[in-house]
Structure 1
Amino acid sequence: MKPSLFIPLLLFVACKGNSGRENPLADLDKSSEAVMEEFLCLDSIDAFGVNDFAVTDSVLWFLFQRPGSEDVLAQYRLGDNSCKSVIKRGRGPGEMITTTSLDANGHIVIADCNTNAMASVVRNDATFRQLPSGGLVSCITDGNRVISTGLYPEGRYRLINLESGQVGYFGEYPQGERKIGDELLPTAYINSKLAMKPDCSRFVCVNSNCGIIEINAIAGDSIRSIARIAYHYPDIVGTRSGKMAVAAIRKSNVNGFFDVTCSDEYIYTIYSGKTYNEAGLGLESCDHLVTFDWSGNLIEAFHVSQALGAIQYDNSQGLLYGLAHTPTRSLIYRLNLDR
């Protein structure tokens, strides 16, 4: 089954019930306020339906996941306010449909979840490379190795060496006191996102269906766990989609980290803490930004006055940005966490 079909399934084939778990991050409302400076109104440049972005110097990259949008990836230059389509939506050569989030570590990378084609954008041109088959959902690369999450029963992460073609699986899926069956684990953690430390020595993984952050080291063609901090696990019920057993997220589930980005010093996440029963589809709007160090220690949490759907750290400038959608417009903010 294609990964793109799982996300609505996890949200809407949900069962009533109470997970019985209290969210340890529930006191985040007492957090300091992050300073938000309006950076760019996307509506003013006709960039509608942006769900992920990256900022590198004076260039912005927009990812469009809305089915009706003509573009998948576009480039916007602040210097001359010019916008260029880089990857079109479609099934033809050089086109994509459902993609991973943007990986902006070094250069822009995305992959098609259905075809397993990975596109690397250097300057203005996209170069495509076919990855091994498998349920790809998120991926990051240092240029030689590709690390991904997906529907992998063999392990939590897949590592591909692009030069040798070697493929390996590493790590175990998180388990709480309420054990999740092995056949359900890959779908229980399907909504994962990755970010690589700029020096490419470590990476972090978060998941929107739970409050778990995983930090791993990369050594050669292997992955080693550094830390796993589990604030709360996904509250799921097993169901079936055709012949396949899948995990459906309960409407009472406390949702977690919806995006992650990083510098060499810190990990930045946005956290929901909402249930479907409380917020409906608004559960993906995150009112809190939580920072960690690379050992997994929680450094500080911040409240944001405008709920965020995505964040991106620009290592070239040392600046943090956030994407917010309001009922009337969509904006990119520059975030200041200094008090």
Structure 2
Amino acid sequence: MRRRSAERFVPRLFERGWLPLLSWHQIAELMQHGNDGLVDMRLRYLRGWPMAAWVKGGVPNVIPGSELDVLRAEVRAAYTRPELDVLGVRDIARSDLLSYGTGLEAVPDSLSNWRILRLFLAEHQAHAQKVAVISPWRAIEIENTRIADWLDKPHRDNEATAATLVKVRAHLKKEIVERGDKRIASPAHMAADFMSDVAANVELAISEGLSEPLPVRILLRAGLEPDEINFAATFRETMAMVMFRQRLRMASDAENLPWEEVKEIVTPDRVPSAFTHECMRTYAHDQPERKGSDVNDLSLLCLAPYATETFVDKRTLESVRRAKQKVPRLAELLGSVRKAASYHDITAACPQR
């Protein structure tokens, strides 16, 4: 009876005038189960849907699109319509972002060969676990210090620098053990790999021998232009801009837009997914266990501006509630976001339209 009820879930939504919205992030999550037969069954289930909506991908009829495709549509809209705010950009992007059709069209035949993606999916999951635990971590409290405050700091010699890196790596390992996803195989290796990357970037910045102070050289290597560095800005504000610029460059290149114009016109407060990311990064609840799945949940939350109803788990809903209280504009952007323990809750919340 439960199986028959589940089989009727999506047809019943369709009859009431509702369509589920799919993206690559849901598909990838379904594929990460260890039982291959169950993954095949899940994909067959999606292909049996009478109708669905999905994010357009970069290559049509291959896989549903991802958050990058959402970002591309938003950047294109923000660039071509510079007078629009974040809500206006959302409305323009929506018209060019979604596709509609049967489950067979939403989940094409190419996905039956999903096993060739196994290594990619494992790497993606490991990366999400790393991002989830390290992104909120701070070795020292520098979030609210200004970039200018770091310009006159004396350089440490190699021995002192090495000793500091050892201490920071030990601190990070402890953080991963206590707060990281419990599926992380080796906190020690994760901490060592991350700190090796940090040390390599610092060494490259030093070896370039430029006249700028070391903090400025590091920011230049991260992608900022010299005239874009605001010395009065805090470390947190500056790193938020660095992360946005990196994602913006990917979207701009994918859309073949002129970068020099894009970076002047497209600001993070006008891009719905970037605005959502920043609000959640600033105000979301820092969970006792930072799960890798939280990264995927945030990508899915970036679909909320393009859906009528968004259903999330308890963890995500609490973070959304906190962020909406701090940023009322986020509530306008995301619309209705609710908790759903099962598909029964969704059916009850979606009446006849």
The TM-score, its normalising length taken from structure 2, stands at 0.29
The TM-score, its normalising length taken from structure 1, stands at 0.29
Larger radius of gyration: 2
